[in-house]
């Protein structure tokens, strides 16, 4: 790239906060387009994403091209000062592709074809699919690469397909061959000596299709990695095409939050802009916390500002019961995203569909139209974002706490035949992050092999599998004076899902003062275990410590008097999942000991405070007004008024304070 820097989100924001959403005008007659533009401008919309589901419109039959309608729209947007995030349409192939090329259709693990008629019915491994996808991407990039409306490329949409079919099987074998080189290495890694699974030739290897009884865990783990890599190949192939045409235009593909199928650490490295879709349930009492987790994780993957590609202005349509957002919640959660690093607040979709599978998914303009509460609140939010943008766009967030997360550990630990199917990785991760949130401690996420020196405290909720390098990294962090807190089921296996001798890595056991890990005692549903000072949930452990002094022991039952929480210097091991309040207290105490303090002291429970750059966001997630102590004098960017020592926030209220 001849010395030029890689494009970034700032190339699209240009000092603004992007505001807008997916726009699917092909659903509407042209007269509606003009109404849309009028409403967009009224609402301060400055960015729309075009083309996500337009393949059959752009290529109505194989090889055809119909760009006229898109030309009109690109021009219309540009004339009205609205930037375009242009999507490659490759997430939903036209019906003709499946009809002419059934080899492009994915196959489930039990051999059932996934047909067209929905979306995302493509095999990541299909050469035919990839060829068509490249061709339409090429032509789109050639035609619109120079269009002044273009601000960003959006590749595909929510990559999420699996495939267990024959072409995927062949690709899996190629992938394995490249990884392992020899069958012997593969047989070793997968432990095929057990259950007579030794492979004598590469052609005998399949995706982990329906077995008679449990699958080989190594095969399943590698198939996870392979799937993430195949999807990534689909992405990079298209990215490289558009980058060739527009080296200065940033490229993204939107993640689904904490989705199991993509190793987003690896993916993020291939993206100019990290974007994500966030849809907490408005009824979920932990909705704000769950949103914060995704925001923190996305920011950490982006290593800076990120893009909220999709959220819902009102209800979604894919839950059992789809609740609308109460008045104010859309604004509050949008500001929360900005507080935690978003420089773009976008929606699926601009105008709610009248037809199709998502017609009951809300839009920025709902079925109720411009008079509806939804659009009215969107409009208010647009104004708010414009007010705060100059002080926040591009600004960074500093965290002293890192939470470690790794897809490989998740994949290895989430298999059938594990000690407890009640232990779900995302739940454990959420429980620990939520405790930090409730302690008002801002945190980043990090990969276990990342540089941890910027942090005072590193929290490992659960990393079942760790590479030697990751263990080295943790030990170095601890030896360097860092405070390390580990939850149970950490360091059990290596990167091949091979259990480490002793059932947990010996160096970690040494670090925490564990002499022998005799047994895991997973808990049944509804069961808790008494510990000194709190109750544990989900899990407990029969540990023989190297040292008789512990922070807290189990009380009663089979584990009476055995250590529940072990501490050795600044290294902590928590062998159960403390109830939320106890975990919050534990982490607050550990962080405090490490000199890490919340942004504001004395914050009420439902109030979130985040410092972005110099700007302090104070968010009331409660339905009752609340007064928050904020020492000193600030200007509230939302209202323009001065705030001294305290600010009162109404239900779902927010203040954005500049010193």
Summarize the annotated binding site as residue ranges: 119, 157, 318
Q: Kindly give, in sequence order, each residue whose CB lies less than 8 Å from that of residue 408, ignoring residues fewer than 6 positions away.
A: 221, 225, 263, 465, 495
Applying CB under 8 A, among 1, 4, 110, 182 the residue interacting with its own copies is 110
Catalytic, 35? Answer no
At which residue do the structure tokens 């924001």 appear? 13
Site string for its own copies, 63-82 (x = CB under 8 A): --------------------
DSSP letter at 324 equals P
CB of 192 to its own copies, least distance (A): 7
> Is residue 96 within the footprint of its own copies (CB under 8 A)?
yes
CB of 139 to its own copies, least distance (A): 16
Applying CB under 8 A, among 199, 510, 597, 606 the residue interacting with its own copies is 199
Nearer to its own copies, 208 or 341 (CB): 208
Measure the CA–CA gap between 135 and 403, rounded to whole angstroms. Answer: 41
Nearer to its own copies, 185 or 499 (CB): 499
Nearer to its own copies, 116 or 144 (CB): 116
Applying CB under 8 A, among 422, 535, 555, 658 the residue interacting with its own copies is 422
What six digits make up the tokens of 623? 């339905």
In the range 216-235, which residues lie near its own copies by CB under 8 A?
Answer: 216-219
In the range 627-656, which residues lie near its own copies by CB under 8 A?
Answer: none
Applying CB under 8 A, among 15, 81, 111, 247 the residue interacting with its own copies is 111
Q: If you write DSSP's letter for every residue of 527-592 in order, what string do you get? A: -EEEETTEEEES--EEEEESSS--SEEB-SSTTTTSEEEEEETTEEEE-SEE-HHHHHHHHHHHHH
Span of 48-56, 173-181, 443-451, 476-484 interacting with its own copies by CB under 8 A: 48-56
In the range 277-306, which residues lie near its own copies by CB under 8 A?
Answer: 283
Nearer to its own copies, 304 or 502 (CB): 502
CB of 205 to its own copies, least distance (A): 7
Nearer to its own copies, 7 or 21 (CB): 21
Measure the CA–CA gap between 339 and 342, rounded to whole angstroms. Answer: 7
Nearer to its own copies, 203 or 645 (CB): 203
Q: If you write DSSP's letter for every residue of 356-394 in order, what string do you get? A: STTTTS--SB-TTGGGSHHHHHHHHHHHHHHHHHHHHTT
Rounded to 5°, the CA angle 545-404-467 comes to 70
> Is residue 112 within the footprint of its own copies (CB under 8 A)?
yes
- Main-chain dihedrals φ then ψ at residue 627, nearest 5 degrees: -110, 130
In the range 307-326, which residues lie near its own copies by CB under 8 A?
Answer: 314-315, 317-318, 320-324, 326
Span of 106-114, 271-279, 457-465, 476-484 interacting with its own copies by CB under 8 A: 106-114
Nearer to its own copies, 55 or 477 (CB): 55
In the range 9-28, which residues lie near its own copies by CB under 8 A?
Answer: 24, 26-27
Q: Provide the 10 A C-beta neighbour count for residue 21.
A: 28
Span of 119-127, 266-274, 300-308, 462-470 interacting with its own copies by CB under 8 A: 119-127
CB of 54 to its own copies, least distance (A): 6
Site string for its own copies, 550-589 (x = CB under 8 A): --------x-------------------------------
Report how far apart, in Å, the C-alpha atoms of 531 and of each of 541, 543, 551, 552, 584 are. Answer: 12, 14, 10, 7, 16
Q: Provide the 10 A C-beta neighbour count for residue 613.
A: 14
Instruction: Choose, from 114, 158, 167, 238, the residue flagged as catalytic.
Output: 158
Instruction: Choose, from 59, 167, 238, 310, the residue flagged as catalytic.
Output: 310
Longest distance between any two alpha carbons in the chain, whole Å: 77
CB of 493 to its own copies, least distance (A): 9
**DSSP SS3 for 243:** helix
Rg from Cα positions in the chain: 26
Q: In what order do the strands lie in the sheet with 401-404?
A: 443-446, 401-404, 457-460, 483-487, 571-574, 563-568, 552-553
Nearer to its own copies, 164 or 437 (CB): 164
Site string for its own copies, 200-219 (x = CB under 8 A): xx-xxxx-xxxxxxxxxxxx
In the range 345-374, which residues lie near its own copies by CB under 8 A?
Answer: 353-361, 366-369, 371-374
In the range 468-527, which residues lie near its own copies by CB under 8 A?
Answer: 496-499, 501-503, 516-525
Catalytic, 310? Answer yes
Q: Which residues are annotated as a binding site for substrate?
A: 119, 157, 318
Span of 75-83, 184-192, 528-536, 588-596 interacting with its own copies by CB under 8 A: 184-192
Q: If you write DSSP's letter for every residue of 62-93 in order, what string do you get? A: TT----HHHHHHHHHHHHTT-EEEEEP-TTS-
Applying CB under 8 A, among 3, 63, 68, 117 the residue interacting with its own copies is 117
* Adjacent-strand bridge partners of 568: 571
**Can you give the three-state secondary structure of 454-519, one letter per residue?**
CCCEEEECCCCECCHHHHHHHHHHHHCCCEEEEECCCCCECCCCCECHHHCCHHHHHHHCEEEEEE
Measure the CA–CA gap between 229 and 334, rounded to whole angstroms. Answer: 32
User: Angle of helix 287-302 relative to helix 329-339, nearest 10 degrees?
Assistant: 30
Q: Provide the 10 A C-beta neighbour count for residue 407.
A: 22
Measure the CA–CA gap between 354 and 357, rounded to whole angstroms. Answer: 10
Span of 255-263, 415-423, 459-467, 561-569 interacting with its own copies by CB under 8 A: 415-423
Query: Contacts with its own copies: how many residues (CB under 8 A)?
Result: 115
**What positions carry a catalytic annotation?**
158, 310
């Amino acid at each position: 790239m001849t010395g030029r820097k890689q494009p970034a989100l700032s190339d699209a924001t240009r000092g603004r906060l992007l505001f807008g959403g997916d726009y699917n005008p092909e659903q509407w007659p042209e007269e509606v387009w003009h109404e849309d533009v009028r409403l967009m401008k009224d609402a301060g919309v400055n960015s729309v994403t075009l083309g996500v589901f337009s393949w059959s419109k752009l290529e109505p039959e194989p090889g055809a091209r119909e760009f006229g309608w898109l030309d009109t729209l690109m021009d219309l947007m540009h004339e009205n000062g609205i930037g375009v995030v242009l999507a490659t349409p490759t997430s939903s192939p036209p019906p003709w592709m499946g009809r002419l090329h059934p080899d492009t259709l994915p196959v489930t693990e039990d051999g059932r074809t996934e047909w067209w008629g929905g979306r995302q019915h493509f095999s990541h491994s299909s050469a035919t699919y990839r060829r068509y996808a490249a061709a339409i991407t090429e032509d789109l990039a050639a035609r619109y690469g120079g269009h002044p409306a273009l601000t960003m490329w959006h590749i595909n949409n929510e990559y999420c397909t699996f495939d267990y079919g024959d072409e995927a099987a062949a690709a899996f074998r190629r992938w394995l061959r490249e990884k392992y080189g020899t069958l012997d290495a593969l047989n070793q890694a997968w432990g095929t000596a057990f259950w007579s699974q030794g492979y004598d030739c590469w052609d005998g290897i399949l995706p982990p299709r329906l077995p008679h009884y449990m699958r080989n865990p190594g095969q399943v783990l590698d198939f996870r990695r392979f799937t993430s890599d195949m999807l990534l190949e689909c992405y990079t192939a298209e990215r490289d095409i558009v980058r060739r045409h527009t080296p200065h235009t940033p490229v993204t593909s939107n993640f689904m939050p904490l989705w199991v199928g993509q190793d987003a650490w690896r993916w993020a490295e291939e993206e100019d802009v990290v974007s994500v879709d966030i849809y907490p349930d408005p009824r979920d009492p932990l909705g704000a916390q769950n949103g914060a987790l995704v925001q923190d994780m996305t920011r950490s993957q982006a290593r800076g500002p990120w893009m909220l590609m999709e959220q819902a202005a009102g209800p979604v349509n894919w839950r059992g019961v789809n609740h609308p957002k109460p008045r104010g919640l859309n604004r509050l959660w949008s500001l929360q995203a900005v507080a935690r690093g978003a420089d773009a607040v976008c929606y699926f979709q601009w105008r709610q569909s009248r037809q199709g599978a998502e017609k009951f998914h809300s839009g920025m303009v709902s079925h109720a139209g411009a008079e509806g509460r939804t659009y009215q609140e969107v409009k208010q939010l647009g104004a708010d974002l414009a007010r705060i943008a100059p002080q926040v766009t591009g600004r960074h967030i500093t965290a002293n706490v890192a939470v470690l997360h790794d897809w490989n550990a998740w994949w290895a630990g989430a298999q059938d035949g594990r000690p407890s199917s009640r232990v779900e990785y995302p739940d454990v991760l959420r429980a620990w992050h939520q405790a930090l949130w409730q302690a008002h401690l801002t945190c980043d996420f990090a990969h276990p092999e990342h540089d941890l020196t910027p942090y005072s405290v590193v929290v490992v909720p659960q990393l079942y599998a760790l590479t030697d390098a990751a263990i080295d990294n943790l030990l170095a962090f601890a030896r360097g004076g860092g405070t390390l807190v580990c939850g149970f089921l950490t360091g059990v296996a290596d990167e091949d899902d091979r259990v480490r001798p002793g059932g947990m890595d010996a160096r970690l056991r040494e670090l925490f003062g564990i002499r022998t890990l005799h047994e895991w005692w997973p808990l049944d549903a509804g069961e808790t275990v008494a510990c000194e000072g709190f109750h544990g949930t989900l899990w407990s452990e029969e540990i023989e410590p190297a040292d008789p002094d512990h922070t807290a022991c189990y009380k009663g039952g089979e584990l009476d008097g055995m250590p529940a929480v072990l501490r050795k210097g600044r290294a902590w091991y928590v062998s159960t999942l403390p109830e939320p309040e106890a975990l919050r207290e534990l982490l607050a105490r550990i962080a405090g000991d490490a000199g890490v303090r919340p942004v504001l002291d004395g914050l009420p429970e439902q109030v979130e405070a985040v410092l972005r750059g110099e700007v302090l966001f104070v968010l009331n997630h409660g339905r009752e007004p609340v007064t928050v102590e904020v020492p000193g004098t600030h200007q509230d960017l939302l209202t323009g008024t001065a705030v001294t020592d305290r600010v009162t926030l109404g239900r779902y209220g927010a203040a954005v304070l500049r010193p």
